[in-house]
Amino acid sequence: MNRLEVYPGLRVSRGKIFSSCGNSAAEKASVTKEGAGDTIFDRIGFFMFVSSAVALLMIVSFYFKVSSPETPVIDITLQSISNKLSKVSYDEQFVTKVSQTFSYMLPANFESRKLDQIKNKEFDNQVSQTRFITSLIKTNSKILEASSLAKTIVTQSKQLGYDPLFVTAVILAESRFDKKAISHAGALGLMQILPSTAKYITTKISPSQWKGHSYLLVDEAYNINLGITYLKYLDGKFKGNKRHTLVAYNWGPGNMNRALKGQSQIPSVSQKYRDSILSTYAKWSSQFKRRDSELAGDFKRAKLG
């Protein structure tokens, strides 16, 4: 009767064993040893196959889990594989039962992302911005968590619809990426926000509620979120004029309004602050576009080649 075989080596081994029934004891022992050897090699080959499959899945999943770390887990259980293969291999336990489980993270929208070119482009751009900002942070500071901070800047900026490079330029001018920075006026964190300003943002602009916890301003994500929210508010107040927005962020919106009415002059410190950020932002934007264009060209040439 024909039976399903998994590995040819096992079939050969079984054939030798079954055909040796009428042979001498020495011949039987010899064939049995050969069959055992083949079985061992089959086991090694199986585990090499599983290891290769696991390594390939890790490489593929690494690319996709960057944008969505909090996603469902895909489990590969070697115990279940072992049990299934054992059922089609007679009574020979050529697969050692292993109760170990390997888990990998993949985005919940894995299938749709493969087919959505716009989302693919947005995701690639976000990854490129994170890498670029990481290099900027490393160049302009000595902090160890450059990649983590860059990811926070990009994530918060994207959520609020703001340019992460502009936010990064503001953070450089305000704190040089030191989340524990404190100004002489008592402004805190990466974007140097006063507790009174934070209270105004959370009660008047943002739907969240201010609880008076000033120490929260040293939290990277919270500080950046409030800073971007305030910048967007000032953008609306001054009709998108970034020169006025930056002066207002540094000097105060009330003072900026009075200066626009001719009732006061913008301090030189605020002027230098504004010009420095705009100059840095323009330089970084140009560098990022050039770098992004070069990478796209390299990828296109590699694809055509």
Calculate helix-pair angle for 8-19, 25-64, nearest 10 degrees. Answer: 170
Query: Tens digits of per-residue pLDDT, 85-144?
Result: 444 443 444 444 444 444 445 555 555 555 566 667 788 889 999 999 999 999 999 999
In the numeric block, the tokens 């009174």 are attached to: 196
Query: Tens digits of per-residue pLDDT, 64-97?
Result: 555 444 444 444 444 444 444 444 443 444 444 4
CB atoms inside a 10 Å sphere around CB 205: 14
* For the chain, percent of residues with pLDDT exceeding 70: 62
Q: What ranges make up the beta strands (E) of 80-193?
A: 101-105
Three-state SS at 105: strand
Determine if the pTM surpasses 0.85.
no
How many contiguous H segments (helices) and E segments (strands) does the chain have? 12, 2
CA distance 132 to 287: 9
- Cβ atoms of residues 259 and 266 within 8 Å: yes
Domain residue extents for the chain: 8-109, 116-304
Q: What is 116-304's CATH topology?
A: Lysozyme (1.10.530)
Of 156, 223, 172, nearest to 195 by C-alpha is 223
Q: DSSP letter at 143?
A: -
CA distance 2 to 4: 7
